[in-house]
Structure 1
Amino acid sequence: MDQFDHSLEVFIESAGWMAPVLFVLLHVLRPFFFLPVIVVCIAGGVLFGFLEGSLLSFIGLSLMSLISYLLVHTFPRFQKRLTRLKDKVFKDRKVTVSQVMVLRIMPFVHFHLLSLYLIEMSASFKEYVYYSLLGLIMPAVFYTAFGQVITELPWYLTILLLFILIGVFQLLGRINKSQMQSKV
């Protein structure tokens, strides 16, 4: 990971004014390199600073969300694969928009899978874009600002943070379920 960060830093410095464009492109190509979102966002914070790194990560993740939408609607086979993955990961479970937003913050959760959930919950492309962009603000800011701190935390604090996020995810599911039952 340190070697990747150093190599990326040298490459970005030599790129000059093209560095932000290349960084956004890295976000778009990230799935092909099997890089987690957190790694790229951390690199953005290190290379560009908090504000510019967060903004560039948000732009890159937003483009990736739009590409996810296009992939799902253009390639039925891609949608089938994601649906199978969804059935394996969240078997017989309904996930809400707020839960998807919490899952976006968790490292190593499949980006396209969460996009599929948002696509299925949205009535239109405009609504998908709204939910998707709203759900990308926190990961871009959180990982860029605190990503380096998270990677330096002892393993037990990292696991504690993961359990806190899982607890918030579960709580949001219960709140949504009780709201649905009270409407009936």
Structure 2
Amino acid sequence: MDGLLTDALAYIEAAGWLAPVLFIVLHILRPVLFLPVLLVTLAGGYVFGLFYGMIFSYVGLMGVSLTFYWLIERFPKVYNKLKMVKEKLLGSKASLTIWQLLLLRIMPFVHFHALSFYVMEESKHYRDYVKQSAVMNISPAIVYTAFGGLIHELPLPGLIVFSLFLALFMFIIRPKKPTDAYQPNDIDAPLPQK
């Protein structure tokens, strides 16, 4: 995955005036290529700088949101799977404000399309979906691109410290694997099967 992103970014950097178009296309193809939103948007800040990176990332995120709306109902298995992910993430009767959606959109471990699915289900029609997506996509375009620009501007020692901080942060918030071992202190735990 990292090799694919690195190759794509090298190609985009060498593309000259076509670079923004290729970057936006990379954003739109990102779900098919299984690239995380965070990495692609960070790369936008790194390659294009803060201002243009935000603009190109925002256009790319809107492209993803708009194509998602038209494609999701054409794939019933994906639709049902996203419905399950959304219900697991937000519950079946969630009622989120736009501010909550803005915050959830920048959480790296919240599924991008589960939030888009939530907005799609809550919208009365396509125009409402586009309006909410337009607001919701502002936060990742600004926050992630700013980090990408920051990484590009940092001197080597600062980049090393920042990378160590990110590695520590990823270690702290990593998913904990549940243990299958029998815990004698747990009264409600069933006894292990033989």
Taking structure 2 as the reference length, the TM-score comes to: 0.72
1:92-149 CA distances to partner (integer Å, 9 max, x unpaired)?
A: 4514033222110111321111101001111121111111110101110110012455
Computing the radius of gyration from Cα coordinates, the structure with the larger value is 2
The alignment yields a C-alpha RMSD, in angstroms, of: 2.6
SS at match of 1:38: helix
Shift in alpha-carbon separation, 1:141–1:153, aligned structure 2, 3 A: farther
- Aligned residue pair count: 161
Residue 37 of structure 2 is matched in structure 1 by 37
Shift in alpha-carbon separation, 1:6–1:76, aligned structure 2, 3 A: closer
1:138-180 CA distances to partner (integer Å, 9 max, x unpaired)?
A: 11011001245596361556789x8xxxxxxxxxxxxxxxxxx
Identical-residue share of aligned pairs (%)? 42
1:9-65 CA distances to partner (integer Å, 9 max, x unpaired)?
A: 431232122111110010011112211111001111111111111100000000100
Contact 1:37 1:108 (8 Å CA) reproduced: no
Taking structure 1 as the reference length, the TM-score comes to: 0.75
Residue 125 of structure 1 is matched in structure 2 by 126
Residue 146 of structure 1 is matched in structure 2 by 147
Shift in alpha-carbon separation, 1:6–1:115, aligned structure 2, 3 A: closer
Residue 25 of structure 1 is matched in structure 2 by 25
SS at match of 2:15: helix
Supply the distance in 1 between the matched residues of 2:12 and 2:19 (Cα, whole angstroms): 5
5+ residue gaps, structure 2, are 152-158, 174-194
Shift in alpha-carbon separation, 1:19–1:88, aligned structure 2, 3 A: same
Residue 181 of structure 2 is matched in structure 1 by none
Residue 49 of structure 2 is matched in structure 1 by 49
